[in-house]
Amino acid sequence: MKSIFFVMGLHNHQPVGNFDHVFEEAYQHSYLPLLQTLMEYPALRMMYHTTGPLYDWLEGHHPEYFDLLKVLIDRNQLEVMTSPYEEPILAIIPDRDKCGQITKMSRYLTERLGAKAQGLWMAERVWEPHLARPLAECGVKYITLDDYHFQGAGMSPDELLGYYQTDEQGHSLSIFPINQKLRYLIPFSPPEEAINYLRSRANESGRNLLVMADDGEKFGLWPGTYEWVYQKGWMRQFFTLLREAMTEGWLKMVTFSQFMEANPPRGRVYLPTASYFEMSTWSLPPQSGATFEHLIHQFQDQGRMDELKPYLKGGIWRNFLAKYDESNRMYRKMLWVSDRLARAETLLKPDQEEEHQTLAHARDRLFKGQCNCAYWHGVFGGLYLPHLRHAIYQNLIEAEDHINRITNPDGGFTEILVSDLNADGSDEVYLRNHRVGLIFSLREGGTATEFDYIPARFNLLNTLRRQQEAYHENVHKAGTEIEQGQSIHDQFLTKEIGLERFLVYDRHLRGSFIDHFFSAQESPEALREGRYYELGDFVGGPYELTESDTTTGRIRLERHGRVVDNEVIVVKIIETLPAEAGVQVEYRVINRSSFPLTIAFAPEFNFALLGGNYTDKYYYRIEGESERQPLNSMGQSENNRRFSLYDENDGFAVHLDFEEPARVWRYPVETVSMSEAGFERVYQSSCVLPVWNLEVEPEKVFVAKFRIVVEKLKTEG
C-alpha cells in the first residue's frame, strides 16, 4: 500500500507589549479551541510551539491552559519545541544572547511542562548559514524551514520529502522542509483538498514525509477564520479525515523526533540566507517590491510559478534595517545595551549577590527588547504599531537603567558619548544622565533620533516617517468584506474607506531639532499634506559637534549652510537641566550675507505619546482654544510661554517653556499601513513647531531660548 508520513505543527505567538484584549481574543478563538478539539482525537499527534511572551500571559490569565497542555503531552499527542524565549530574529542578536534565550526557554519547558525539547522553532523562519553552530552548541537537534529555503539551494519538490543535515564548523543540525502548498491549503480550502494532496505524495516505500507547520493564529484569529474553522466545522472535518486516513493505513501522523528515530536524513544541504517567500517581497524597497509582486502575478497567470520560483530572489530579513531607519535605531540600541550588560557583568565579584540580581533583571529586559515583531513590517510584523515599538524601547531603557546602577553606583552622572551608534559611517552624539537620554545624528541635520525619559522608561521620539510602501497602490481597491476560506495574502481589506487621502510621504526622517526655513505663507496644513517648500539646506544636512562638556552636560552643534541666497549659520546648544528631567535649548541663526535674512524659522519636534485621540493624552492650554485638545488635532496658537503635552496614563507631561512668547504649529503624523486585518491609519506622533518670523540684518544673530521639561505627574492619593 502506498503511504506517507505527515507532521503538523503549530506556532503560537503574541509580541511583547501587545494589548491584553488581543491576547484574550487569540486565546478564546484560536489557542484554546484548537487544543480542545485535538483532545477529541487521541490518535492525532502534532508539533507545538508557544513563545515566551505568550506563556507569560497565559501564566497570569489562564493557568488552566497548562493543565490541557500537560494532558496532551502525557498522551504523546504533542511534542513541544523550544526557541529563544522572547522570539527574536535569532540571526541578528549577539551570540551570547542566542544561547541565553534558548536556555531560558528550554529550562522553562522542562520545569513547567516536564518536556525536554529537541527541536527549535525559528522566528519568521529567518535562516542564515552561520546559525547551525550556535544552535547545535545550545543542544538543538533539528529545526524546520520553508521549502523555499531548499529550492534556493537548487532542490526540486520531489527531493523535499524528508529531512536533511547541515553543519557549520563541524557542528551538525537537522532541517525539515515545510510544504508551502499545505500551508496555503490549510485551513483556507476544503479539508478534502489537503487530504487529497497528502495522498498524491504517498508511495510504495512509505518513507516520504510532508510537513505543514505554521502560525496557530490562522486557526481562528485571522479575519474570518474562527467562523470557518470552528463554527462551520473545518477543523473537526479535517481531524476526522486525518483519523480515517490513519485507520486506513496510508497516512502516518508523527512528530519530528519520531520520524528521525526511524528515518535517516536524505543527505547534506547548505541553505542560503532566506525566510518564507512572502518575507522576500516585504523586505524590498517599495519600488522593487512592487516590481517583484508584478512579476510573481505574471508568472502565476502564465502557470510558470512552480518552475521559476526557485530562481526568484527578493530581499532578506536584514533589509528591514536599511529600509526603515526606525528599525535600525531600535536594533542598534539593543546591541548597545547588550554590549554594556556584558561589560558590566565583568565588573562584579561572585559574592555581589544584589548586583548580580540587578543585572539578571537587566538581562530579562534586554531579552524582551529583542522580540522581533516591532523590528519589521509586512502583512505581519509590528513596526507600524507604536505600542509594540514602545515595548521594545521600554524594556531596553529599563535594562540600561539597571546597568547604570552598577556602572554608576553613586546615582547621578552625565555622559556625552560620540560614536557611530547607528552604523551609518558617521558619528552620533549620545547625551545622557540618570533622568534623560538624547541621541543626535550629526549626519542627518543634527536631529535628535531618541529622547528617553528614564523614570517612565519612555522614548518620546518613538515615531515613524510616512513613507511609500509597495502595497499603497492597492489601497483604493480595498473593501470591508471578508471572503471566507481565502488566505489573507489574497485579499485587500480596509478598516476605513478613503485612506488614499492620507498617502502623504515625508521628505525627511522624523525626530526633533529638525531645522526648517519657510516662507511666511506656509501653514500646519501644508506641512501635514507635504506641499510646503523648504527654503534652507539644514534639514538632513550634516552638522558639526563644536563643543562638548560633560561637567555641564552641554553640547553645541553647528552648520554653515544656505537659506535661499543667504549664507547662514545655525547653532543649537543643548544642555541637560541640573535638577529636572529635560534640556535647555538655545538656537542661534547667524546671517553671514550682505543683505537681510527675512524668513520663518521653525525647528520641528515630534512627541510620540501612544495615542492621538485618548482623553488622558492631550495638549493643554492652547491659546485661543479650549484648555485641552487631542494629540491628533491640528492648528496654531500665538504668544505661548508654555506649550504642553500631557500623558496621564504614563504619568508625565512634556512642557516647552519659552523665554519669549512664541507661535506654535501642531499637526498629527499618521501613516497608512497593512496588517492581517487590512489597511489602517495609525497615529504615530504629534509634530510641534515653534515658529519665529526672522528679520536678521547682515552679520547679526537671532537667538531663541527655551526649555523642554518632562514633569512627573502627581498621582491622586
The burial class, CB within 10 Å (0-12 / 13-18 / 19+), for 284 is buried
pLDDT band at 623 (very low <50, low <70, confident <90, very high): low
| pLDDT tens-digit readout, 22-55 | 999 999 999 999 999 999 999 999 999 999 999 9
pLDDT band at 607 (very low <50, low <70, confident <90, very high): very high
CA-based angle 611:616:621, to the nearest 5? 100
- What is the rounded CA–CA span in Å between residue 447 and residue 508? 10
Question: Grid coordinates standing for 240?
Answer: 476526522
For residue 318, being part of any structural domain is answered with no
The pLDDT assigned to 667 comes to: 97
Burial state string for 102-137 with b = 16 or more CB within 10 A and e = fewer than 16: bebbbebbeeebebebbbbbbbbbbbbeebbbbbbe
Residues 593 and 707 in one domain: yes
Contacts of 215 (CB under 8 A, 6+ apart): 10, 11, 12, 13
Residues 372 and 420 in one domain: no
- What is the rounded CA–CA span in Å between residue 518 and residue 533? 7
50 strand-pairing partners: 12
For residue 121, being part of any structural domain is answered with yes
- The whole domain housing 494 covers 412-467+490-712
- What is the rounded CA–CA span in Å between residue 637 and residue 625? 8
Q: Name which of 329, 584, 356, 384 is nearest 495 in CA terms.
A: 384
Q: Name which of 27, 472, 425, 46 is nearest 226 in CA terms.
A: 27
Half-sphere exposure of 344 (CA within 13 A, CB side): 27
Q: Name which of 35, 323, 309, 312 is nearest 181 in CA terms.
A: 309
Of the listed ranges 85-89, 274-278, 492-496, the one predicted with least confidence = 492-496
The pLDDT assigned to 483 comes to: 55
Task: Output the 3-class SS for 610-667.
Answer: CCCCCCCEEEECCCCCCCEEECCCCEEEEEEEEEEEEECCCCEEEEEEEEEEEEEEEE
- What is the rounded CA–CA span in Å between residue 457 and residue 617? 17
Residues 46 and 72 in one domain: yes
Three-state secondary-structure class, residue 388? helix
For residue 323, being part of any structural domain is answered with no
Beta-strand pair 652-675/678-696: antiparallel
Give me the CATH number covering residue 572: 2.70.98.10
Q: Is 215 a catalytic residue?
A: yes
For residue 621, how many other CB atoms are within 10 A of its CB? 16
Residues 580 and 593 in one domain: yes
Region 123-127: what's the mean pLDDT?
A: 97
Half-sphere exposure of 92 (CA within 13 A, CB side): 28
In this predicted structure, the answer to whether residue 481 has a pLDDT above a threshold of 60 is no
Residues 257 and 359 in one domain: no
Contacts of 212 (CB under 8 A, 6+ apart): 6, 7, 8, 9, 178, 179, 182, 183, 186, 194
pTM, whole model, 2 decimals? 0.95
Residues 400 and 454 in one domain: no
Task: State residue 397 phi and psi, 5-degree precision.
Answer: -65, -40
Domain boundary pick from 221, 247, 274: 274
Domain tally, the chain? 3
644 strand-pairing partners: 620, 655
Beta-strand pair 628-630/436-441: unpaired
Catalytic residue among 86, 124, 217, 452: 124
- What is the rounded CA–CA span in Å between residue 580 and residue 551? 16
Give me the CATH number covering residue 31: 3.20.110.20
- On average, the pLDDT of the chain sits at 95
Residues 147 and 242 in one domain: yes
The pLDDT assigned to 479 comes to: 63
For residue 327, being part of any structural domain is answered with no
| pLDDT tens-digit readout, 416-428 | 999 999 999 999 9
Q: Contact 673/684 with Cβ under 8 angstroms? A: no
289 strand-pairing partners: none
- What is the rounded CA–CA span in Å between residue 394 and residue 433? 17
| pLDDT tens-digit readout, 316-334 | 999 999 999 999 999 999 9
For residue 487, how many other CB atoms are within 10 A of its CB? 17
| pLDDT tens-digit readout, 528-567 | 999 999 999 999 999 999 999 999 999 999 999 999 999 9
For residue 237, being part of any structural domain is answered with yes
- What is the rounded CA–CA span in Å between residue 203 and residue 442? 64
CA-based angle 386:391:394, to the nearest 5? 115
Domain boundary pick from 224, 255, 274: 274
Domain boundary pick from 408, 430, 457: 408
pLDDT band at 56 (very low <50, low <70, confident <90, very high): very high
The pLDDT assigned to 693 comes to: 96
Catalytic residue among 215, 278, 586, 680: 215
| pLDDT tens-digit readout, 373-432 | 999 999 888 999 999 999 999 999 999 999 999 999 888 899 999 999 999 999 999 999
Residues 422 and 350 in one domain: no
Residues 347 and 450 in one domain: no
| pLDDT tens-digit readout, 452-479 | 999 999 999 999 999 999 999 988 887 6
Contacts of 498 (CB under 8 A, 6+ apart): none
- What is the rounded CA–CA span in Å between residue 364 and residue 342? 13
CA 360 → CA 353, 354, 355, 396, distances in Å? 10, 10, 9, 13
The amino acid that residue 574 corresponds to is I
For residue 620, being part of any structural domain is answered with yes
- What is the rounded CA–CA span in Å between residue 249 and residue 242? 11
Q: Name which of 71, 58, 6 is nearest 30 in CA terms.
A: 58
For residue 418, being part of any structural domain is answered with yes
Residues 552 and 696 in one domain: yes
Q: Contact 212/183 with Cβ under 8 angstroms? A: yes
Residues 440 and 373 in one domain: no
656 strand-pairing partners: 643, 708
CA 433 → CA 335, 557, 708, distances in Å? 20, 19, 15
Residues 234 and 350 in one domain: no
C-alpha torsion 519→525→526→529, nearest 10: 160
Residue indicated by cell numbers 501564566: 59
The pLDDT assigned to 343 comes to: 97
Question: Grid coordinates standing for 248?
Answer: 486506513
Question: Grid coordinates standing for 47?
Answer: 508539533
583 strand-pairing partners: 576, 708
For residue 97, being part of any structural domain is answered with yes
